[in-house]
Amino acid sequence: MRRLLLSVLVFAAATSATAQEVVPWEEVEGDSTLTVAVRLATEGQGDSARVFVRARLSEVSPNDTLYPELLYAAGVVAADVDSATLYFRRVGIEYARSGWADRAHLRLAQIAFGAGDYAAAYRSAQRVLMDYPFSEVLPEAGFWAGRAQLEVGNGADGCRLLSTAAADAGDNVELAQRARYQLQRCAAFAQEGDSLGGDSAQARPAQPSAGTQTVYAAQVAAVQNAVAADELMRQLHAAGYDPHVVRGVDGLFKVRVGRFPDRSAAQRLANELRQRLGGSPFVVEEQQ
């Protein structure tokens, strides 16, 4: 089936210019409802697009696997931001296991960012990063999470997220360029840290206690609950890996693979996981 890259700048006049700027392209297959609706909207037939999607929604049962795509399409061609938000929230909450939930949370992050609600933007982007570790939109979610962190003055996390987004953008050249552009701001954050002495408690790595040994693992994801962690571990087991979970002080369940005495071996495993399963595995230190 042919693949279409469609520019989805389809919110109506009620949408602010800033919010319009942050809505990305979509990649969809064939003549799906989303494809047709977007085509109508981008041709200036927004009302027709919405009528078309509503008709399809009335024909399909909410229990049908097609339903979350229809809700997502309704959000994309919605006449205003409030309506779009309601549709995307329904997808993310009611159909969290569907193939559209990650994209719905990404849309919510972009809408919140456009409205200047950076905390909400970060939370929605983090949902993608934590709950959908193999999502195709992980780099885009990392980009908006990073931008949101920069806007609230958290340069360390913001720059880390943007660096990862740039590295993982793949053939999405536009995303890589946007991430690198935002990374120019990181120099200012670094200078600010130097002016404060560069030795704050947050900046200093924790020192291992006596008698412990540092090992290295590849972290696949950090998820919010044990159910999501179990599901991810099941997928990793099925792929031939032996994962383990570390409960962080932040309450997250951090799913990791391997324990190696040197960082290079863990990095090779992280690269292998990235190539085989996708996502953004990275190397972490553990104490044992």
pLDDT surpassing 60 at residue 245: yes
Q: By three-state DSSP, how is residue 268 classified? A: helix
Domains of the chain, by residue range, sit at: 3-191, 214-287
Q: Is 72 exposed, middle or buried (0-12, 13-18, 19+ CB in 10 A)?
A: buried
pLDDT surpassing 50 at residue 11: no
Say how far apart CA 189 and CA 178 lie, in whole Å: 18
Cα–Cα distances in Å, from 257 out to 9, 143, 219?
40, 25, 6
If one looks up domain 214-287 in CATH, what number appears?
Answer: 3.30.70.1070
pLDDT of residue 288: 65
109, two tokens? 């992050």
pLDDT of residue 17: 33
pLDDT of residue 187: 77
Say how far apart CA 186 and CA 179 lie, in whole Å: 11
Q: Are 168 and 280 in contact (CB under 8 A)?
A: yes
Q: What percent of the chain has pLDDT over 70?
A: 80
Say how far apart CA 120 and CA 148 lie, in whole Å: 9
Which whole number is the average pLDDT over 248-264?
83
Q: Are 222 and 198 in contact (CB under 8 A)?
A: no
Strand order in the sheet with 253-260: 243-247, 253-260, 214-223, 282-287
What does the radius of gyration of the chain's CA atoms come to, in whole angstroms? 21
pLDDT surpassing 60 at residue 173: yes
Residue with tokens 């999470």: 145
253-260 and 3-7 as β-strands: parallel, antiparallel, unpaired? Answer: unpaired
Q: Are 129 and 145 in contact (CB under 8 A)?
A: yes
The top-level CATH class assigned to 3-191 is mainly alpha
173-177, 254-258, 277-281: the lowest-pLDDT one: 277-281
Which whole number is the average pLDDT over 225-239?
81
Summary mean pLDDT of the chain: 79
Phi and psi at 30, nearest 5°, equal: 60, -155
